[in-house]
Structure 1
Amino acid sequence: MAFFLMNAHNIISSCCGGAGNVFAKIFSEEDDVPAAPASNQPGPVGLVGGFTAREAKYEDVQWSKLPAKARRAASTLGYDEASWNGNEWRCDEAWGDLSAEQRGAAEALGWTERAWEDQYEECEWKDLPANVKRACRRLGYDASTWDETEEDDDKYPSTMEKEWSDFTKEEQRCMNVLGYTQQMWED
């Protein structure tokens, strides 16, 4: 198949023009093999518990392993290597008080306004993003327990009574997906 595509590409390019041609783009070598999504890349910024590092706000990724874009975004929010690796929360402003540049940086790190402001606590189950629902399920929530905890603190799953150090790596990443950081949880 690749041989056929390359021959078709060469024929079309020779009669219809090069890279700017629509047909040339359709038959380009780059499109022969779809690129693997970034979330499936091995290493410290890959999947943990089925969630990407970005979905988990890069909270469990050391500064030296952060992608360049994430490191720049973290710097915009006031982090340096020591504060990032030390799990120090550096930006205490409300989402609405962040500058456009800071909001963009937070978004580049995977934050949404809901995660930033209230860790989705004020959000009904039906309104949660799919990845947040998955994290909630792994922490012991379902639609009824999530919605009931808004009115009754006794409805929290037992996992929510743990200390941060007692969470498994997967549970910690699920907490990060919700917008909790180690420092927030321990304070």
Structure 2
Amino acid sequence: MVAGMEAWAVLGAQGRVRLATVIEFVVSWFIGVPLSAAFVFGFNFNLESMVASLTIAYTVGANVYLYTLFTSDWEALSAVVVARNVAEGVLYDEFDWDDLPSNIQEAAATLGYTEELWNNDQEPNTSDKEWDMLTDEEKKAAAVLGFNRKKWDMDSSTGSETGGKGYDDMDWSDLPQNVKKAAQTMGYTESMWNNDQDCPLEDKKWRELTSEQKNAAKILGYNRRLWDKGSDGLPSYDHLNWAQLPSEVRDAAMYLKYSQNIWDSDGESPLEEKEWQELTSKQKEAARVLGYDQLKWDDDTDDSDSNSQDECFEDAQESFDEAKSTSHDGTAIPASKSFDNDTAPSHGINRGKDNSKCCDESTVEPIEYDEDASWRKLPEKVQAAAIVLGYTKEIWDKDKEPPTCDKSWNALTTEEKRAAQVLGYNKEKWDDDDSDDSSV
């Protein structure tokens, strides 16, 4: 009986309490009870029959327990227990690689994680596979990290919903304060949230989000895999350097004229200038390996202007965010300069744009806005540009101009020139306005 009790405890520790209970029930009622009845009523053994039947029954039960233990797949059972713990809140997402338990670290390595990927919140290439595409070893590793088929494949259907933590079913007023703040960081308003409108940032890739936005997205239940899968469902390898690329992806990149130097420096492949229909069949096949289809390839070519402009104004946006955090009402401060619609030349697709050209006034496209509108209604990029030029809420509302407007174009800093271009200015128009103001 002692051996049986210990075996029952081990089975319970494996997370197999139900199995252990079933074995005990069967042994007691289908072996112990019938034997006792037979010995008492058939052989008239009385008390001895009770002891004998229980001894036989529990000996059989102990042997069944021991057989079950010795034939167990301990690794798979351990993964199940860990997965249950994860479901109950034991998460490792916020752990550094060195702080992970050894079994979690081994499972993560099996799925393709490295210390660099894990600590930088990046995902391995296995995250782009569906559950059925994983090897048995990868499925076991995924189970150790808390995944099952449903959880692993869930990211394919998340779309633009608010992640996997159930907040999308809550009204704005019911959200925890930190979740509400995260939703605001992602561009939600109370009206948008309560009316199930899409996240304003849903068209951005994970790598295009600011650090603050990534942290907010995590609070809402996203990681890079969930976010990027929701946008177009296609794999992306832009976040990996050449050495981290899977061999088949690296071969495809080489076929598309990439080299290690071009890839790691975000340089351009000559083929990026071509439209999808201009690629050969093998080039299209290689592009698909890199995560492209016709729509994504051609759209990336068409959208290169706006992508370049976004990169140019990353510093301006940081200034805008700082201003929002320090203003008395937590909002931004825009400009009052008007604009004319200059054009901007295009560059290649997402990988490998020459960002040094951002300083050239011809590469920043102005953003249309109503100069008579209140500052609250201006586009965010216009607000960011205005802050760079020195505008404040008071200056805007009183239709005044900051000291920057007294400078000539050549006296402006590079960042100020970029901001002025967003507002529709070039050298000629800026200096003409300055001379008009002086004459007045």
Specify the TM-score bucket, using the shorter chain as the normaliser.
0.3 to 0.5
Structure with the larger RCO, 1 or 2 (CA within 8 Å, 6+ apart):
1
TM-score norm. by structure 1 comes to 0.45
Greater fraction helix: 2
